[in-house]
Amino acid sequence: MQRSIYLTFLLSSLLACPPVGAAKSALASEKPETAMCIVPAKPGGGMDLTCKLAQQATASQHMQISYLPGGVGAIAWTTIISQRKAEPNTLVAYSGGSLLNLAEGKFGKSDASNVRWVAAIGTDYGMIAVRKDSPYKNLRELMDAIKSKPASVAIGAGGTVGSQDWLKMAQLGKQLGIDSKAMRLVAFEGGGESFTALLADHVQAVSGDASEAALHAREDKIRVLAVLSDARLPGSLAHVPTAREQGFDVTWPIIRGVYMGPQVSDRDYQKWVSYFQQAMTTPAFDEQRKIHGLFPFAMTGKELTDYIQKAVSNYRLQAKEFGMVR
């Protein structure tokens, strides 16, 4: 893990700065002295976006971002629960994929109770994309090609077999009678690498997240075939039909947020919970969340912890359906 120099910041100035637009409060007298957000992946993917949004919420000049890829989040998780478990101002990005990994035992013997869940700061949705010059114009054409000759379509995915990107494709394929194990998924360390491979024509499609796709769609180099949401999404992907519109009853919401080490004191943990609670009520935060391609979802502290426990249980059931867990 790279060693980063921590920058000191004052919470009183954070609460007055434009990125969050929050008023000064009693929290100013209990300011965190340093801040870091760890991205458990390489730059460019959804985890990176999560830390950048947290950085905006805490004033960009005062929070550093550090990258700690490996094991699709497992290295960062293990580091926090074993070596950095009591650091009071170190946050780690997580997503629904992190919760799925927990459900499948990919973080060892860990479970959701091994860290302190601070905040969910937005939600994302799954999507399927191809290059702009791809012969596949819609999701049905892509899935028919996979059914006809599975090995001929390489699909970039963040994570290995059993990852959320893999499960998205498995659920889509199941509706056409495609054996999920026959699909040719190429594992990468996060969405950033998947899109790099797509643009280099090393893979023919990407199973990833809408927030990641929105960044690349602006450059007009990719075609998003479907979003895995209940309804079409606003913003740059507003023209993209849902999978349901194309005959595939599959949705995949992805919450994004930050957690802390298991031995962070109640006092320090609550400072961050309260901080995010306050920041997420501001119009400025809503705007930053939109800029980062995420959609409204705000939850903190105990409520979030209970939600995550249930989510991990639900992911475990989905994973069992495809033989990923016993």
In this prediction, residue 28 carries a pLDDT of: 38
CATH class of the region 125-246: alpha beta
In this prediction, residue 33 carries a pLDDT of: 62
CATH class of the region 11-124+253-321: alpha beta
Q: Domain residue spans in the chain?
A: 11-124+253-321, 125-246
- Beta bridge partners, 299, equal 120
- For 86, the token pair is 């009591």
In this prediction, residue 44 carries a pLDDT of: 83
Spans of the chain below 70 pLDDT: 1-33, 59-61, 326
In this prediction, residue 22 carries a pLDDT of: 39
In this prediction, residue 224 carries a pLDDT of: 97
Q: Would 11-124+253-321 and 125-246 be classified into the same CATH topology? A: yes
- Determine what percent of the chain is predicted with pLDDT higher than 90: 67
In this prediction, residue 15 carries a pLDDT of: 32
Between CA 261 and CA 165 the distance in angstroms is 27
